[in-house]
Every structure is written in C-alpha cells, then in structure tokens.
Copies of this chain bind each other. A is one copy, B any other.
Amino acid sequence: MTERLVVIGGDAGGMAAASVVRRLRPDVEIVVLERGARTSYAMCGIPYLVGGEVDDLEDLVARSPEEFRAMQIDVRLHTEAVAIDLAARTVQARDTLTGATEPVGFDQLMIGTGSRPIVPGWAAVELANVSVVHTLADAARLERLAEGCEGLEAVIVGGGYIGVEMAEAFLARGARVSIVQRGPHLLGNLDPEMGDRLGDAARAAGIELHLDASAEEVRPSSVVTSTGAELPAGIVVLALGVVPNSGLAADAGLATGVRGAVVVDDRQRTSAEGVYAAGDCCESFHRVSGRPTWLALGTVANKASRVAGVNLAGGDATFGGVLGTAITRLVGTEVARTGLSCAEAVDAGFDPVATTVEASTRARYYPGSQPMAVRLVHDGASGLLLGGQIVGGAGSAKRIDTVATALWARLTIDELVDLDLAYAPPFSSVWDPVNIAARQAVR
C-alpha cells in the first residue's frame, strides 16, 4: 500500500513541506486539506495591494492549487480538518460547502494550520467598512475600501507591523489616517527610543497617533477609545495581532506551549509519533534567549516547513531557530529589528547594554545620503551581541541582516568593530554604521 502524508492547511507552514516531500519521495501519496479556496499566498503582501503598489490580488498567490496538483499533490479545497484521531491515524475532514464529513487516513501528518487574527468581543461587528488583514478575501475587501477612501478617516486599531503597513497603504490612497496603539510607541518589540523615532516619522507623514490607548468600541462611523476619544472612522482596520491556530492539535492531545502554540523539537516533530508541525501554529526556538518562542512570520514558516519536509521524506534536517528578525517601512522611513530588545534581554536573564548611533546610509557627501540610526544591544557581562534595531531612510533597514548574521553566529560586540563590510560612497560610509555602533559600544 502506498504511504500517505496528510497535510492540514494549504499555506506556507504545510505546503513547503509538501513540496519537499514530493521532490524527495515521488512515491508518497500527499493529500492536502485546505478549508479555504486558495493555497500558498503572501499574506505579507496584502498591505501593498491595498496601497495600490501591487495591482492584482492573484500576484499574491505563490502557488495555486492547480500548480500543486500538477506536482501530484492532491489538494482538496473547501475541506476543513475538524478532528485528528491519533490512535486511528485519521483526520475527520468536513466539506465546508456541503457539510459532509469523511475520515482521511494518514501514515504521517503535517500540521500547518497557521494563525488567526485576534478579534476581541467589542470588535466582532458585522460592518462592511471594518476588516481584519489576514486572508485574500480580506485583501479583496480592503482593496475595495481603499479605492474609495480618499478624504475618509481610516482608523487603524493596532500599531504593530501590519498596522503600520496598513496606515501607509491608506495614506497612499488619500485617506486621513490614525493609529490606536495600546503601548507607548509603534512596533512594541522595538526599544522605546527607536519606536519613538518611528512615531515621529508617522506624525511627519500626517498620521495621527493615539498611543497608550486601546479601542473599546467600533461604531458604524467611529471608534471609541479607552481615553474617551471618539474617532471618526469611515474605515476601520483591525490589526490587533494573531494567535496560533492550534485548537485542532491541542484537542488531539498534542503538547502545546508558548501562547498555546504546538510544541515541536528541532526536527519539527510534535509530541506524537509521525506528526509534524510548522508555521504560525507552532513554537520556534529562539537562538539568543535559548527558549521556545512564538513568532508568526512567513520566513519562519517556510524554513521550518522545509525542515519538516526533509524529515517527513526520511531525511535528517534540523531547524536552526529564529532571531525574530523583522522589517517594515512607513512612508519614507524604514525600520528593522533582530534578536532581543532591552526588555526582552532582561526577561531572558541578560544584563543588556544598548548603544545608539546616528549614521548615514551613504557617504555623507554623496547625493541621497539619509540619516540612519543603529542601536545594538549586548550583554554587559559577556559582551555577547543580543540584538539590533535600525530606523532610517531608504536603504537603511535591510542592513539589519548584518546584525542578524552576527547574532546567528553568536559574535560578541567587539567582534563587530573590524567587521569587513562593503564600502563605496553610493552604498555606505567608510565605517559602516554597524561598525560605528559597535565601536561606540566597546568604547
């Protein structure tokens, strides 16, 4: 009898594994149960569709069901996995159009159920001008709202990455934009000093910030905040973050951990024999804190899922873990982070020392050179690099990769002083900003 792999969830967490298994094991039967009408799409691309930079929603689809089927992967759309029976080795699959259920047997199981947006009770309203940012259906709705938003007030509830990107998108479409953010600055996983820089950029771009405030009620044409303000709102975007979609796995008896995410080892194995997981539904290992963490990032989902795929195919791969590297942009200001913020470093038992320098993206005399602030965090006792943050002009933020690679390799702060980084006047100052920050930190 042919061996069968069942994959639950048709997005990156599951499908990267499915693709690897197909490449390495042409003989294995692969069945994918996807509750929606789509497979692998770039959720991260939604803000750029809404903002009008990407024209066609179909561009966000990395690989269609037809493409997977051409690879001999049996993609079953509108098919929701409603229960896993580990003893019987079956998944109960429900046809979401007819309601009919049937058991699908598996030899091995890959769980890639992803995450779902947080929608508190007060936000669970059925209004055409209110949307979360998660699926391609959300994307289509938000794109329609954006096309008609000129002169309207768009209130973005939540100032994390998606919130910031949606603010930019609606601003580009001509809306008057405000962000309601619970914490004292945008992007809660930055240190306050760097978050404040982004806040300054947001205000300079014309975005109204309501910090240290939470939304408490969504009305048909306004949002009421905890500070008592009633913000006029022609459009409301709910960007309050996501939680792991791990209920199915937990109900089946799989171990769960941080934020309820499925526990996996470095081979992406869950607590049950022959059952793997990857992506937003499960934990990752943080290389700097040395602890399990939970990060809903497309990069992590793809990489962890590749590892699961190699192992499902009988190979031997381990996932190197995560640093929490992230990047975004708000109008002309770029921002990126990696590793631990000061607060996270304290929490992980380190003694963080932070150093921030003001540098420039290019030689200062070269046209288009822009300010670029680099912050490095290291452990005072050991000198170990713990994290980095960048806020600056065009060409600044992707340089966080230098810091990420140094973190990955567990370098100490003094090892970054002489780091031989690329220099020519259109690309950098002769001392790269990362060198400058390290030199300052060591001094």
Contact = CB atoms under 8 A, between A and B. Distances in A.
A1 interface: no
B54 A367 contact: yes
Contact of A302 (B326, B424, B430): B430
Given A325-B420, A406-B405, A420-B324, A426 B48 contact: yes
A185 to B, nearest CB: 19
Contacts of A426: 48, 329
Contacts of A430: 12, 42, 44, 298-299, 302
A191 interface: no
A402 interface: yes
A408 B419 contact: yes
Nearest to A53: B367
A76 to B, nearest CB: 25
A123 interface: no
Contacts of A435: 303
Contacts of A287: 420
A320 interface: yes
A42 B422 contact: no
Interface residues of A, number: 70
Contacts of A18: none
Interface stretch (A82-90, A138-146, A269-277, A393-401): A393-401
Nearest to A431: B302
Given A298-B430, A401-B402, A365 B54 contact: yes
A260 B409 CA distance: 36
Interface string A234-260: 000000000000000000000000000
A322 B420 contact: yes
A420 B48 contact: no
Given A398-B395, A427-B398, A430-B42, A299 B420 contact: yes
A178 interface: no
Contacts of A399: 398, 401
